[in-house]
Amino acid sequence: MAKHTPTQVANNDIRMTKKNPTKPKTWLHIQQQLRLTRSHRRARIWHDAQLPQRRRMQQITRIIITPVIVVATVATLYLGLQATIIKVHEYLTPPITVMQIPTPIPNTPPLPSPLPSPHTEKIATPTTVSIPQITATIQSQAITHIVIPAIKLDSAVVEVGWDTISDSNGQSSLVWQVAQYAVGHHFTSANPGQPNNIVLSGHVGGYGKVFRNLDQLRPNDQIMLMSGAQIFTYVVQRQILVDEQYASPSEQIANLSYIDNTSSEILTLITCWPPTGVDRFSQRLIIRAVPQPPKN
């Protein structure tokens, strides 16, 4: 029988190990495998213990977040629908070019202001002023621009007059025109620097919305008018809100005083209010301002 040296035996063991991958593992390998198994088992136990708590948190999150998402979605859809309705309404509505006023025609008794149509803004003018007197007050130094920093208003100013309209009963009345995409200066009213009432009007909804933020004005806010090469500065005194559409004839007559002649220089800004809703344009928002006192 052939004998093998120790070196040959060792080489034979190495060759057998490479050829036989199923050779039993060492005790160190077994210990490592046991540690990994125990670690995996502990991780699974911890995960299984945390699972009910995670499910509860997910349920609570759904209960809280789902209604918020639903409410936000409904509100977004509602606001978008409202904006679309307003845009369609403005597109389909013919341009608003006049404001209704109960100014009498000469040699005729005063006529009551007719109720406004849904697409007409109406503002009163003094009933005691006749057409010859109005024409005599026209001035050459017209207002060309208005700036109100507090509400970021920077708009051109154009002179506006009136038109004569007749209702279904054949009664006539005068209506003030309303400037589109600009502020309108009642050309019968005073100009800056004159001791009288300066009347400016503008749209609150559609066609520029130049006076859409007029309600945000507060006492002591500045209003600047450009007339010729001069700048005239006024400070807000007060804000007034009066009923017009549902006002009685006596209340409508009382409203006329806000655009009537005055004994001192005063600036009057007028627009319809509110801009939206079922009572749209049923009131008048009026801002009264006086010349800014000179600085000492």
b/e 201-231 (16+ beta carbons within 10 angstroms → b): bbbbbbbbebbbebbebeeebebbbbbeeee
| Confidence at residue 91, expressed as pLDDT on a 0 to 100 scale | 54
pLDDT computed for residue 134 by the predictor: 39
Which residues in 240-267 are b (16+ Cβ under 10 Å) and which e? eebebbebeeeebbebbebbbbbeebbb
pLDDT at 199 over 70: yes
Q: Which pTM was predicted?
A: 0.56
pLDDT > 70? residue 130: no
Q: Does domain 97-291 have CATH number 3.30.70.2190?
A: no
Cα separation, 183 vs 148, whole angstroms:
12
Q: What local confidence, expressed as pLDDT, does residue 2 receive? A: 53
Nearest to 283 by CA among 166, 116, 148: 116
Longest dimension (CA), the chain: 154
